Structure 1
Amino acid sequence: MEFDVVRRALPRSSRSGCGSAMVRVPNSSAVISTLPGGKLYVCEPLTGDLRAGVRLAGDLRDVVFDAETDGAAWALATFGLCRIDVGSLTKIGDDIRQGIGKYQWRMVALSDEVLGISAYHGRSMVLVSRRDGTVIKRLRMGAPELVHRLGDGRHRCWSFHHAVATDLDLRSRRSVARHRLPYGKGPRVIGAQVVALCGEREDTPFPNVWNIDATHVIAFDVDTLAAVRRAEAPEHSIEVLGADAAGRIVIAARRTISVLSPVTLEVEGTYDHDADLGGALLIAEDNLVVIRDPVHLADSYSVVRWP
């Protein structure tokens, strides 16, 4: 498998920060992110077009777009939650921090009325109103890396870092079931399966802090949680990015992007980057991955494509 690579420039910015998430703008191939220091931008990987906008309260962590408006969205940053207009790249209102705090990491739309926000490797998820950003309730659970809705209306919150999946009943705002998982990281829903990188928990010198050494790629049934396929993971794997236009599984590692067979999970091709990946985002229908450089090299991004 051959890979084509194009490097595209970003505006000069500070070299400090902890890295920004990249989020795809719905119904387009455009990507929204922030430069180190929190300045919003939208780039078009296929053409190199770029628009810069207002500064957020820190690096971008996640975005939830409104379903019924043009460009309005909730943006989670290092130091607060705010409303933004993606078309003009401006903020709508003040930053919200009350009850949410700083250093949150993930945000998911649980319904038209409720957001779920959690910290990186945290032990809770905060339910927040999509109307005004006020906190509704804090739930004790392993902070989910992935949330999807089950057929009966419950939400299954997968926390491979804490080796548990928690079923949430949003109507009662209660956790109603917990299921054991292997330790892992970087999951993604692909069809009727959750594909994750699983391995051994490695303790660190810090209390209640551990890492996961990913040794296998495992596909789990979304309903039964049964492991239906497994194979050895590419070395230094970090996260599953999704499936490409041919259904092949795409995985980001420390310095590589690997494309795996959808049937056997065996590696069909690997792109070796010239530096550590600061982040990666798959544009599935174009067989394209956008790669952000680490913060100290954050003056460009790379576009990697394959047949």
Structure 2
Amino acid sequence: MICNLCPRQCGAERTPEVGKGWCRLPSVAKVARAELHHWEEPCISGTKGAGTVFFSGCTLGCVFCQNGPISHENQGKEVTEEELYALFEKLAGEGAHNIELVTPTQYIHVLQKVLARPIPGDLPVVWNCGGYERVEILKSLEGKVDVYLPDLKYVTEELAEKYSAAPDYPSTAKAAIVEMFRQTGPVQLEDGILKKGVVIRHLILPGRLAEAKRVMDWVSEQFAPGEVLFSLMAQYTPCGNLEQFPELQRTIRPSELRAARNYMDALGIQGYVQELEAVGEKFIPDWNMRENE
């Protein structure tokens, strides 16, 4: 396949065995882990866990990514469409509240077909992504995805280029989130579990409180209170090679989180604030689906 799925539109050839271009991934889906996941927002994980499938690869290049082995190194196990659907069935059978697809953008061509089938247990489908999506491609998911869980990492082009190699990220992610909301409408909760809607995540980076405030300003201006949920994340953990980025070589300070929380409250944005207890490599999953296993 000649791939233009993500905003980079590199036109790379992705054969079943080999991938070129930005993501360097084959056309066959690769999965790094599938499990009941209890570390998402309460409306996603609930009491039983989200039925989470972590996909290998990523369309961004975040220097601080804590999932580097799968996002940058593409670790994972290739699965057929039938095997992927069987994972959905297994997770539903284990009592998952939903089927959550994490970093799935590079496999939209596969998921369009798999999600066209009845979802086991009639569970809501959650699209957990970095926010870097083409609106034209998102439209192909309408009616197949119930909950969107995008990041809004930056609204400043310079930061997006410096940390994620994507200067077009702010405009692209904002347009994508607007499309996501068009598809789902306002949040719909049932017994505390999100059945339909959008949850926008923002990871506070050390020394970037002003950017967190700019992100919240946009959310507040774009959506009426309660139309979407917002997740202010404090879990930043220095990972990977940050030698060129000394400002990222620490966790965020309690004062930064406190100031961000107060700003969120002042804007009347509804959602969640992650505590600093979530910081640390102990919260990074073991990527247990590997080739030859």
TM over 0.5: no
TM-score (norm: length of structure 1): 0.30
Q: Highest CA radius of gyration, 1 or 2?
A: 1
TM-score (norm: length of structure 2): 0.31
Q: Greater relative contact order: 1 or 2 (C-alpha under 8 angstroms, separation 6 or more)?
A: 2
Q: Could you say which structure has the higher strand fraction?
A: 1
